[in-house]
């Protein structure tokens, strides 16, 4: 089939929801991105990937659309999610603050970070209007002028605590009322693309996993742009990494370790991120020092370049649910 459009301005949302065990609910939320409240199909939108983890009880739905459409598609999914998920009965090992936990908007092509920030803020304002009782904190380019990062915002409101230790009533929303036990609080923002990369260790030693996560964490002097936590998962320990993209700097091109970076461009600007292969190698070295090994690495969705190319293909060919083709082993 011939491509219908070229030169599209595209953005993606890696929608994080606090549900994975009810597959029909997850599918319904993903499909909602394709339709408005009247059942009319949203144009130029595709659900690229649906990733669910049973132990985490968390799913990540990758939605891509044009600059004009992405906000409407994401709101449709969020509204369905709020109607389907009750955070007060949620049970999972992954930290979360909201039924719809995270709504990050990432530029793919032909759209700036500032424009993504405006879209994200518009999503936040519409959600608290459409869903009574929902509330939002803003981060990144939606949080202008403060521009606080997602990690800083989460840390300040207790995302890293156990759910039983978080007092929802005390959380402060940037938009909307005080968070409710049913909906919690939703993070909405925009930033350069953040990739999720999980590396599994062949051990049940959670303390070891946490030590390795701390060693590779950028904030503690490890790998630039990498945030890492360790969780028990399927009888082993998983190092869950958020891998941030950052504007290219001289050290990424002149260093003897330049091969650890992968590069991509957004609106003429060069960005870099640590490659999943390098992250796995570093974790493998640390694991071997403690007599264990890694057993595999999973990317939740796509690298930035893969997300862009998949979005361009799916939208230009009018494929709304390309994730189903990918799960069936039918690729572009």
* Helix/strand/coil for 130: helix
Q: Hey, what domains does the chain have and what are their CATH numbers? A: 10-191+304-327 (3.30.990.10), 194-299 (3.30.70.670)
Task: Write down the pLDDT at residue 304.
Answer: 96
pLDDT above 90 for 320: yes
Distance between CA 97 and CA 129 in Å, rounded? 20
Task: Write down the pLDDT at residue 2.
Answer: 41
Mean predicted confidence (pLDDT) in 291-307? 94
Distance between CA 185 and CA 321 in Å, rounded? 28
Distance between CA 191 and CA 169 in Å, rounded? 28
Mean predicted confidence (pLDDT) in 212-231? 96
Secondary structure (H, E, C), 197-242: EEEEECCCCHHHHHHHHHHHCHHHCCCCCEEEEEEEECCEEEEEEE
Bridge pairing between strands 194-201 and 294-299: antiparallel
pLDDT above 70 for 220: yes
When comparing pLDDT for 67 and 247, which is higher? 67
Give the tens place of pLDDT for each residue, 231-282.
999 999 999 999 999 987 665 555 556 678 999 988 888 999 999 999 999 9
Give the tens place of pLDDT for each residue, 160-195.
666 666 666 667 899 999 999 999 999 999 999 999
Distance between CA 138 and CA 332 in Å, rounded? 35
* Helix/strand/coil for 53: strand
When comparing pLDDT for 331 and 315, which is higher? 315
Task: Write down the pLDDT at residue 158.
Answer: 73
Task: Write down the pLDDT at residue 253.
Answer: 57
Which has the closest alpha carbon to 96: 200, 194, 240? 240
Min mean pLDDT across 106-120, 128-142, 256-270 is at: 256-270
């Amino acid at each position: 089939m011939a491509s219908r459009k070229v030169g599209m301005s595209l953005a993606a949302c890696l929608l994080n929801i606090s549900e994975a065990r009810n597959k029909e609910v997850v599918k319904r939320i993903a499909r909602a991105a394709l339709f408005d409240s009247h059942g009319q199909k949203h144009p130029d939108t595709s659900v690229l990937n649906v990733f669910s983890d049973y132990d985490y009880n968390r799913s990540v739905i990758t939605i891509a659309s044009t600059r004009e459409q992405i906000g409407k598609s994401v709101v449709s999914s969020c509204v369905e999610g709020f109607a389907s998920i009750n955070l007060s009965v949620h049970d999972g090992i992954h930290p979360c603050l909201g039924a719809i936990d995270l709504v990050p908007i990432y530029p793919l092509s032909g759209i700036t970070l500032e424009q993504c920030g405006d879209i994200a803020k518009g999503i936040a304002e519409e959600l608290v209007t459409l869903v009574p009782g929902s509330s939002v904190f803003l981060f990144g380019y939606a949080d202008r002028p403060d521009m606080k990062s997602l990690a800083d915002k989460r840390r300040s409101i207790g995302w890293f605590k156990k759910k039983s230790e978080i007092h929802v009533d005390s959380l402060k929303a940037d938009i909307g009322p005080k968070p409710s036990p049913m909906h919690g609080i939703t993070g909405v923002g925009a930033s350069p693309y953040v990739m999720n990369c999980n590396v599994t260790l062949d051990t049940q030693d959670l303390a070891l996993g946490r030590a390795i996560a701390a060693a590779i964490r950028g904030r503690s002097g490890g790998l630039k742009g990498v945030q890492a936590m360790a969780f028990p998962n399927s009888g082993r320990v998983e190092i869950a990494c958020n891998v941030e993209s950052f504007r290219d700097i001289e050290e990424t091109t002149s260093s003897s370790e330049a091969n650890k970076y992968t590069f991509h461009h957004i609106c003429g600007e060069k960005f870099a991120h640590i490659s999943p292969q390098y992250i796995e190698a570093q974790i493998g070295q640390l694991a071997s020092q403690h007599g264990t090994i890694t057993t595999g690495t999973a990317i939740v969705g796509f690298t930035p370049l893969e997300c862009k190319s998949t979005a361009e293909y799916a939208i230009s060919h009018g494929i709304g649910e390309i994730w189903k083709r990918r799960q069936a082993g039918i690729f572009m």
